[in-house]
Amino acid sequence: MTRWNFIQEGDIIDVVAPGYPVQLPEVDGARDFLLRWKLQPRIPKNIIKPHFLHAHEDEMRFAFLKSAIQSKDSRVIWCLRGGYGSNRLLPMLAKLKKPKEPKLLIGISDITSLHTFLIQEWGWSTLHAPLLDRLGRGLVSPKHEKELHKILFGQEKVIEFKKLKALNDQARNIKLLKSRIVGGNLSVLQTTLGTPWQIDTKNSLLFVEDAGERGYRIDKMLEHMRQAGALKQCRGLILGDFIGGKEPGTETNNFKKVFKRWSEDLDIPVFQGLEAGHDVIQRPVPFNTSCVLQQQGGRVLLSIDTGGKA
């Protein structure tokens, strides 16, 4: 594990858009949010350019990301939006020399591709946390914005999750488990399979979440990951928020049945209820840091080291 540096007021924050575009008012909102935190947003002047899929051409999105990675005067790279596009940057990213000093990447969804690369290739710790467009639009509650602020500024060095529920006997029988967490968006993780950056879950707890995927697709993605060996040496599976995915002609999804099936199929512990993903509450989840899962009297406590240092 490579620790990132806590930020301080006045620090420069490099803003990137490796996936989908945002509207200019959302760029302004992201800037205003960082200024409200008394940080210096560094947003490339032409970060958004009309494109049929992405925020910009691949080469320019990578150029902005490269500049953020290699800049000597910033500690954090914060993504504007997810969507789709980060995985197209990985072959170019693989040609870069690992920087001497780690930085903190923040983002969710499509940014899972970058989390996975930085963890596996450079050994960095990253933060699965709200994107800037969401923060800039005021869609994060004051309570959870404050939690994120405390983590980034080093006022909280451990984040606790107390609402996990054990879904199978393997999970219910755990008293103490020490590991690390990797993962992110399930559909993005599936796209890593068979690539040089296939998700490595060895000796790790795998966290997954998704939005807008019907039950059969979630089942299919998990089955693909199992057949590819991605669940073979995993210490456990932690389910975050899965939203949307209503079945045709109904107002409901069948997630409960899918997750019950997988909790019975797998011989690893399966937990549900991590408050992270695409839902209203998007609590920060530190990746590639030490974590401890404890269970007593049916109550589960997951404590995760934020990965920061003074």
Catalytic site residue from 109, 187, 204, 263: 109
Give helix 215-227 / helix 255-265 axis angle, nearest 10°.
20
Q: Please indicate whether residue 109 is annotated as part of the active site.
A: yes
Catalytic site residue from 54, 56, 115, 278: 278
Please state whether 21 falls in left (phi above 0), alpha (psi between -120 and 50) or beta: beta
Query: Closest Cα to residue 125, out of 178, 79, 67, 77?
Result: 77
**HSE of 241, CA atoms in CB hemisphere, 13 A:** 17
Positive or negative torsion for Cα 40, 112, 114, 46: negative
Q: Please indicate whether residue 247 is annotated as part of the active site.
A: no
Instruction: Classify 227 as helix, strand or coil.
Output: helix
Q: How many CB atoms sit inside 10 A of residue 54's CB?
A: 22
Q: How far apart are CA 69 and CA 274, in angstroms?
A: 30
Q: Please indicate whether residue 160 is annotated as part of the active site.
A: no
> What tokens appear for 200 in the block?
């490595």
Catalytic site residue from 128, 209, 213, 263: 209
- Helices assigned H by DSSP within the chain: 24-36, 58-70, 90-93, 112-122, 132-136, 142-152, 169-172, 186-192, 215-227, 255-265
- The sheet carrying 126-128 orders its strands as 40-42, 12-16, 74-79, 104-107, 126-128, 285-287
* Distance linking the first and last C-alpha atoms of the chain: 16
Q: What residues contact 299, with CB distance under 8 A and at least 6 apart?
A: 162
Catalytic residues: 109, 209, 278
